């Protein structure tokens, strides 16, 4: 119970920290869905899509953040030059003490969870918001002027739920796509080896993944060791 309570408070803290002042063209806090300014609107596009988002690939891992809840997700499709993303969310999340051990073996298991989610969506041919089953669902997200991708409902309204793009180092990206390839080919990821050890890497060494989200990334990096995603068979 203590772990879940601590996790909930930390996630809530993360969500509150996202309400930062990002310039004169924005409000001071993320409030109701009507207060978001979508960067996909022709009248509100200023700087376009940040360059770091242009290189995103289908299958890239992300975190879905909704209040006190952080869930594993992957990018299913990239639309309008990166201004809109279709994301598959896995609604099974479990906290575990084992996650606190930042070992390469656990990192591989974490990548495997994302890879299996990507494979499941691909094999099911899910391709539109609302597609999914009891544990997985596809959702649409729009890049807003606050530099964050917010969830869009069936009526086109932007909601407080948002996603955090997980920015990978070169080594992590190579390792991740190696795991994805293994999962799609039906190979055991336990046979994979990593050239780098995550146990020797400080969370402060991880790069920034959004143009204005130092607080968000710091909190995400602090929360990652307390999260594990249930692996499933497809």
Six-digit token string for 122: 């691909």
Per-domain residue ranges of the chain: 2-226
Give mean pLDDT, residues 217-227: 54
Better-scored residue on pLDDT, 95 or 217: 217
Predicted pLDDT of residue 123: 95
Identify the band that residue 218 occupies on the pLDDT scale cut at 50, 70 and 90: low
Whole-number average pLDDT of the chain: 70
Identify the band that residue 55 occupies on the pLDDT scale cut at 50, 70 and 90: confident
Predicted pLDDT of residue 222: 57
Residue 148 has pLDDT above 70, yes or no: yes
pTM: 0.62
């Amino acid at each position: 119970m203590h772990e879940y309570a601590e996790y909930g408070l930390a996630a809530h803290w993360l969500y509150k920290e996202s309400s930062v002042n990002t310039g004169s063209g924005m409000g001071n806090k993320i409030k109701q869905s009507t207060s978001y300014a979508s960067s996909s609107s022709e009248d509100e596009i200023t700087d376009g899509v940040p360059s770091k988002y242009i290189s995103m690939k289908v299958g890239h891992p992300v975190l879905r953040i909704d209040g006190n809840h952080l869930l594993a997700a992957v990018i299913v499709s990239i639309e309008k030059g990166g201004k809109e993303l279709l994301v598959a969310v896995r609604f099974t999340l479990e906290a575990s003490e084992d996650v606190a051990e930042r070992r390469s073996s656990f990192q591989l298991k974490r990548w495997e969870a994302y890879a299996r989610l990507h494979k499941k969506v691909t094999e099911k041919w899910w391709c539109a918001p609302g597609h999914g089953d009891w544990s997985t669902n596809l959702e649409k997200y729009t890049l807003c002027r606050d530099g964050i991708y917010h969830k869009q409902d069936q009526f086109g309204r932007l909601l407080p739920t948002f996603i955090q793009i997980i920015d990978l180092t070169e080594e992590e990206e190579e390792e991740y796509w190696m795991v994805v390839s293994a999962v799609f080919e039906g190979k055991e990821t336990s046979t994979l080896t990593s050239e780098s050890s995550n146990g020797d890497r400080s969370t402060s060494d991880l790069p920034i993944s959004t143009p204005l989200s130092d607080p968000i990334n710091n909190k995400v990096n602090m929360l990652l060791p307390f999260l594990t995603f249930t692996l499933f068979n497809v």
